[in-house]
Amino acid sequence: MKKYFAIVMIFMLTVTLNIAQSQKEKAVQKKVNDLISQMTLEEKIGQMTQVDYDAIKANIKDIGKYFIGSILCGGNSEPDDITPAGWANLYDKFQNVALKTRLRIPIIWGIDAVHGHNNVDGATIFPHNIGLGASRNPKLVEQVAAVTSAEMRGTGVQWDFAPCVAVSRNEKWGRSYESYSENPELVKILGAAFVKGMQGNDLSDKTSSLACVKHFLGDGGTTNGKDQGNTEVDEATLRKIHLPGYISAIKAGAKSIMPSYSSWNGVKMHGNKYLLTDVLKGELGFKGFLVSDWAAIDQLDKDYKTAIEKSINAGLDMAMIPNGQGQKNNYIEFITLLKELVNEGKVPVSRIDDAVRRILTVKFETGVFDNPLTEKSLTPLVGSKANREIARDAVRQSLVLLKNENNLLPLSKNLKRIHVTGKSADDIGNQCGGWTISWQGKSGNVISGGTTILQAIKNTVSNSTQVTTSKDGSGAEGADVCIVAVGELPYAEMIGDRQDLTLSKEDADAIQKAKSSGVPVVVLLLSGRAMIIEPELNKSNAFIACWLPGTEGQGVADVLFGDFKPVGKLPISWPKNMNQIPINIGDANYDPLFPYGFGLTY
């Protein structure tokens, strides 16, 4: 009887919630309809225009003049003051201009917060997606997204160009670390978790932000791993491998999606009406809006006006315009040409109205009409100790132990001397990788706050333990153990494409010097993908794939010294040599160095 009563109560609660949601949606649609009925064509096209900060910062009044709907800070576009307060002040300054327009439609501000609010000095920087994929933990990913969102809102920004639900099928691809896995099932689970964490229970909550799922569709499957390349597969394969992450993200409530620069069998995604409109908006029932990638519509045709026509008619709702005045294809040109296309009957008014309806609906759902300015109570929480503890946990859950000869790990905290070496042992920039303050990232002290691996080791060992250090692998003689931190230097899209994934000579030499010292060697590999490591693996006694852990190096020390047992499992297949790439689970003659799902523990 109690069980029956519980079932009835759950049913009634579900019905009540559905009715409330339906009423809320109707109220939003009434507001949208009222607003659209008052809008001129110029105001509608303005809502479809997203301008990069660098392109408009000298002409801020253009926000009002052209009714601009969105601003972004993309790549290296950022304010002079990149502190949380500096970002918040910039956001409010621009928003106040939008609020003085005739209809007082606020802007939404987009940013690539792909592993924390990574353009803000002092923010919490999490492991890149490949590391989160190794954790296999959707609750953790949800936490990471929630913290990222709250730190964003503390700077005014309320729209994140994340999660990336690419299914990376080739380690040569320079965006491999932005993918959770080569396995679409894992991508599907973790992508949905990120959307839930970013958007919260209610998109209008003060700590919630709009997620943007990217890059639709097949960006991780291009031939030879070429960025912005061509995904040459049949439709069944495209759907099986690359579509599941979008289906789950839409079910999780995603309201914005970014098409890919890449092509499917020679057709650019930004002009693919079948996939953008028929499949995404039609078959999958996506009710949100599509925003282009950085100047991506330019690639559709040498004639910019024709490129705009192709993309908007294919289903694009908002165009990301990075160029400034005086440069080709700037936002004023986009607005002028789109208006011409409508007046010429080449872009239907119905297509414009559909795009604007989608954009305004999401704006109302985010609550930006009611609360357009920065939530200043959140600003001091950017990079807080509590947030860094979540990042530290993400680091330790992401590490994958590949080798542990004679149970060398965990190390004792009371050893007489530990030698720490390698170019990445004391380098926060190398730990974070690309998309950290600058687009491509860089080595060195790029961001304040956080802990390097060397600092973390010193924090962890006993007062009686001597920690010595060098950069090149030298000086380990006589130590109880030598820890060598090596790997890739920071990079991001395009620049990160590689035809050779062997370790650099600098790294190989450092490991060789450590080996020649005669002491046990622990190698920590910091990388955005699997690399060719067999020679170095054989020279080590223990080997950990640390991926790109972010600012909280203490999580690495937690695992090294046994405060946390390794739980990470490979989210990708690890190749023996370059000739094996691409290698993915399910391949015929599957014979990797380490299989998908591999990971030792203590």
Q: What angle do CA 172, 174, 178 make, to 5 degrees?
A: 115
Q: In 39-170, which ranges are continuous DSSP H helix?
A: 41-47, 53-56, 62-65, 84-98, 129-135, 138-153
The 3-class secondary structure across 85-116, one letter per residue, is: HHHHHHHHHHHHHHCCCCCCCCCEEEECCECE
Token pair belonging to 267: 């057709």
Task: State how far the Cα of 590 lies from the Cα of 592, in Å rounded to an integer.
Answer: 6
DSSP class of residue 518?
A: T
What are φ and ψ of residue 295, in 5° steps? 55, 25
Task: State how far the Cα of 308 lies from the Cα of 296, in Å rounded to an integer.
Answer: 10
How many other C-beta atoms can be found within 10 angstroms of the C-beta atom of residue 86?
16
Closest of 525, 491, 496 to residue 508, by C-alpha: 525
| From 493, 507, 536, 552, the catalytic residue | 493
Token pair belonging to 421: 């070496």
How many other C-beta atoms can be found within 10 angstroms of the C-beta atom of residue 38?
9
Cβ neighbourhood burial of 126 (10 Å; 0-12, 13-18, 19+): buried
How many other C-beta atoms can be found within 10 angstroms of the C-beta atom of residue 369?
17
Residue 111, CB-side half-sphere exposure with 13 Å CA sphere: 30
Task: State how far the Cα of 529 lies from the Cα of 526, in Å rounded to an integer.
Answer: 9
Closest of 600, 601, 579 to residue 592, by C-alpha: 579
Task: State how far the Cα of 248 lies from the Cα of 196, in Å rounded to an integer.
Answer: 11
Largest alpha-carbon pair distance within the chain? 80
Token pair belonging to 500: 């050779």
DSSP class of residue 300?
A: G
Place of tokens 């523990």: 601
Given the DSSP bridges, would you call strands 481-487 and 417-421 parallel, antiparallel or unpaired?
parallel
Closest of 84, 77, 36, 29 to residue 53, by C-alpha: 77
Task: State how far the Cα of 135 lies from the Cα of 570, in Å rounded to an integer.
Answer: 9
Active site annotation includes 293: yes
Look at residue 319 and give its three-state secondary structure: strand
Closest of 35, 29, 34 to residue 101, by C-alpha: 35
| From 43, 142, 182, 293, the catalytic residue | 293
Beta bridge partners of 523: 484, 543
How many other C-beta atoms can be found within 10 angstroms of the C-beta atom of residue 254?
26
Closest of 439, 444, 547, 549 to residue 494, by C-alpha: 439
| Stated length of the chain | 602
Task: State how far the Cα of 424 lies from the Cα of 547, in Å rounded to an integer.
Answer: 12
Cβ neighbourhood burial of 15 (10 Å; 0-12, 13-18, 19+): exposed
What are φ and ψ of residue 572, in 5° steps? -140, 165
Closest of 113, 193, 100 to residue 156, by C-alpha: 113
Active site annotation includes 493: yes
Q: Which residues are catalytic?
A: 293, 493
